[in-house]
Amino acid sequence: MTEIGIGIVGGGYMGKAHAVAMSSVGAIFNTVLRPRLEMVCATSDGSAGRYAQAYGFAQATSDWRVLVADPKVEAVVIASPQGTHREIAEAAFALGKPVLCEKPLGASLEDSRAMVAAAEASGAINMVGFNYIRTPASQFARALLAEGAIGQVISFRGEHTEDFLSDPTAPGNWRTEGMANGNMGDLAPHPINAALALMGPIVRVMAEVETVYATRGGVAVTNDDQAHILCRFESGVLGTIFSSRVSTGRKMGYAYEITGSKGAIRFDQEDQNAIWLYKAEGPEATRGFTKILTGPAHPDYEPFCQGPGHGTGYQDQIIIEAKDFLTAIETGKTIWPTFRDGMEVNRIVKAALLSSEAKRWIDVETI
pLDDT tens-place string over residues 316-354: 999 999 999 999 999 999 999 999 999 999 999 999 999
Same structural domain, 122 and 270:
no
Question: Is the CB of residue 17 less than 8 Å from the CB of residue 318?
Answer: yes
Q: Residue 360 in 3-state DSSP?
A: coil
| Final residue before a domain boundary, out of 131, 155, 190 | 131
Same structural domain, 292 and 169:
yes
Please write the tens of the pLDDT for every residue from 80-128. Answer: 998 999 999 999 999 999 999 999 998 899 999 999 999 999 999 999 9
Q: How confident is the model at residue 1 (pLDDT cuts 50, 70, 90)?
A: confident
Same structural domain, 86 and 141:
no
308 within a domain of the structure (yes/no): yes
CATH of the domain at 257: 3.30.360.10
Question: Is the CB of residue 140 less than 8 Å from the CB of residue 299?
Answer: yes
Same structural domain, 230 and 353:
yes
For 166, 207, 349, the CA distances from 237, given in Å and listed in that order, are: 32, 17, 19
181 within a domain of the structure (yes/no): yes
CATH of the domain at 44: 3.40.50.720
Same structural domain, 177 and 235:
yes
Report helix, strand and coil shares of the chain as percent, to nearest 5. 40, 25, 35
Same structural domain, 138 and 262:
yes
Query: What is the mean pLDDT of the segment spanning 149-166?
Result: 98
In the chain, how many domains are there? 2
Same structural domain, 114 and 238:
no
**pLDDT over 90 (residue 198):** yes
What residue type is assigned to position 164 of the chain?
F
What is the DSSP code (8-state) at residue 289?
P
Please write the tens of the pLDDT for every residue from 165-188. Answer: 999 999 999 999 999 899 999 999
364 within a domain of the structure (yes/no): no
Same structural domain, 125 and 33:
yes
Q: Which domain holds residue 285?
A: 133-312+322-334+345-358
Query: What is the mean pLDDT of the segment spanning 29-46?
Result: 97
Same structural domain, 140 and 226:
yes
**pLDDT over 80 (residue 279):** yes
What residue type is assigned to position 185 of the chain?
G
Query: What is the mean pLDDT of the segment spanning 183-206?
Result: 97
| Final residue before a domain boundary, out of 108, 131, 154 | 131
| Final residue before a domain boundary, out of 131, 150, 176 | 131
56 within a domain of the structure (yes/no): yes
Query: What is the mean pLDDT of the segment spanning 2-12?
Result: 97
75 within a domain of the structure (yes/no): yes
Same structural domain, 199 and 270:
yes
209 within a domain of the structure (yes/no): yes
Q: 87: burial class by Cβ within 10 Å (0-12, 13-18, 19+)?
A: middle
pLDDT, residue 339, reads 98
Same structural domain, 27 and 144:
no
pLDDT, residue 157, reads 98
For 26, 128, 225, 267, 296, the CA distances from 244, given in Å and listed in that order, are: 36, 22, 6, 18, 33
Please write the tens of the pLDDT for every residue from 222-246. Answer: 999 999 999 999 999 999 999 999 9
Mean pLDDT rounded to a whole number for the chain: 97
Same structural domain, 100 and 170:
no
pLDDT, residue 35, reads 98
User: What is the percent of the chain with per-residue pLDDT over 90, rounded to a whole number?
Assistant: 98
Cis peptide before 104 (omega within 30 of 0): yes
